A and B are shown apart, each in its own frame.
Chain A
Amino acid sequence: MHIRLDVERCQGHGRCYVLAPDLFDADDYGHCVLLVDEIPAGREDDARTGVENCPEQALSLED
């Protein structure tokens, strides 16, 4: 499973990297940077938490 980031939609709410800091990080502007390409085994729930808490729906999961 992968995480997809729509950089146009991300507005730097910072929910993803606060909730799952080893999967998501912030750039200098506080916008999301993906730390992993493939979601590591067993980390699907954290990935989902980061994705589903985005108020802009800038993140999604795909196979």
Chain B
Amino acid sequence: MEVEDELEAPATPLFADLASADDPRAISAMLRQQRVHTIENMFHLLTHREDVEAALRRPAVYTSAPEAVQLGNIRPLIPLSVDPPKHVKYRRILDPLFAPKHMAALDGEVAELVNQTMDNFASKGTCDFHEEFAVPLPCTVFLRLMGLPLEDLDMFLEMKDGIIRPSGDTMEAQSPTRKKTAENIYAYFEKTLAQRRRAPTEDLLARIMRSEVDGVRLTDEEILDICFLFIIAGLDTVTDSLDCIFGHLSQNPEHLRQVAADESVIPSAIEELLRWESPVPAVPRVLGEDVEVDGCPMRAGEHVMLLIGAANTDPAAHPGVDSVDLLRNPNPHLAFGGGVHRCLGSHLARVELRVALREWHKRIPMYELVPGTVLEYTEGLRSLHHLPLQFPPAR
């Protein structure tokens, strides 16, 4: 008990800063000094790669019960808040739609959207990368994929932020915004589904509506719960990843030169910077039964955060992980999670990031932070409030 009391105080603020710290690796290293931290006797953190990986692999024990993620949704998010055996049904429908081969075919379309986005600022020689690129791009790609009108961009950004980054300092203060936004999301997609029934289209949403398991189609509610998850899981995370990667490159000229000089470095640079930055620093689970890790008892119903960022920089798992090596091999990081809940959109995210880095550096191979800039990372999911860049004006 004495030990627990001593460590309770430091673990809480350290955990709160995991996404927003200038150097989250230092925080992860401090947290890793102990395999398990228990906050307020009921909320646990797993900090070692080995334990995080083992937990990801045991969904019956470390469950994704709906109370793990509460974001204004009135029903469980599909497939995030559903565990096996039901989870298998949804992934059998969704995995093929997000399979790498389909996603790779989007290369040209994404390149076009990247270049259109860059047209707005390339010739000016300066931009706020976050506002003008990292935020709109993933949303634009999503709208295109789902066959939704591009004019809805601003509304989508509002819906995403209303859930992920609502105003208010506490969960209670944020709750009304989340609730109202959630109602808007359900209403928007209900309307869209009705329209699609009258006038069928050919896009991701159409394929979801058509898909069957054992001859049975998804219900409207199930489709709404999938769409809800797409908005909150598919838009902000790519923004976060873009901010993290370009934030790193703009402050590390030797890495920027490496990426700009040789396009073939880009895929492994993305993997390495996702590992290093871990834009999603932790994933939540709810215990389905009592377990013990490193002598620390944890009871059924209690919440556990699996610290992805700490696992990704755990030197016990891999040598040399405390520095950035854009050509790192092997690099079996967990930035997209693991186990049955491995990020459904990981292959889409990789295409977006790869094409964004390729097209960006073709047009703007050299850039730097606007002098005097102090970068501030966001809490929860690691993105930047602003990323002001300057560069020689490009075509």
Binding site for B on A (CB under 8 A): 9, 11-15, 17-18, 26, 28-31, 49, 52-57
Per the 8 Å Cβ criterion, residues 31-87 of B in contact with A are 53, 57
Closest to A48 in B: B330
How distant is the Cα of A29 from the Cα of B101 in the complex, in angstroms? 10
Which B residues fall within an 8 A CB radius of A? 53, 57, 91-92, 95-96, 98-101, 267, 329-334, 336, 338-340, 342, 346-347
CA distance A11 to B53 in the complex (A): 13
Cβ of B329 and Cβ of A53 under 8 Å apart?
yes
- Residues on the A chain within 8 Å of B95, using CB: 12, 28-31
Report A-chain residues with C-beta under 8 Å of the C-beta of B329.
49, 52-53
Contacts of A29 in B (CB 8 A): 91-92, 95-96, 99
Residue among A11, A14, A17, A54 making CB contact with B339, cutoff 8 Å: A11
Q: Which residue of A lies closest to B94 (CB)?
A: A29
Would B267 and A18 count as touching, CB distance under 8 A? yes
Instruction: Give 8 A-B contacts (CB < 8 Å), ordered by A residue.
Output: A9-B57, A18-B100, A28-B95, A30-B96, A30-B99, A52-B330, A55-B53, A56-B53
CB pair B342 A13 closer than 8 Å: yes
CA distance A52 to B339 in the complex (A): 17
CB nearest to B311 among chain A residues: A55
Extra 18 A-B pairs, beta carbons < 8 Å, given A52-B329, A56-B339: A11-B339, A11-B342, A12-B95, A13-B336, A13-B342, A13-B346, A14-B347, A26-B99, A26-B100, A26-B101, A28-B95, A29-B91, A29-B99, A30-B100, A55-B336, A56-B53, A57-B53, A57-B332
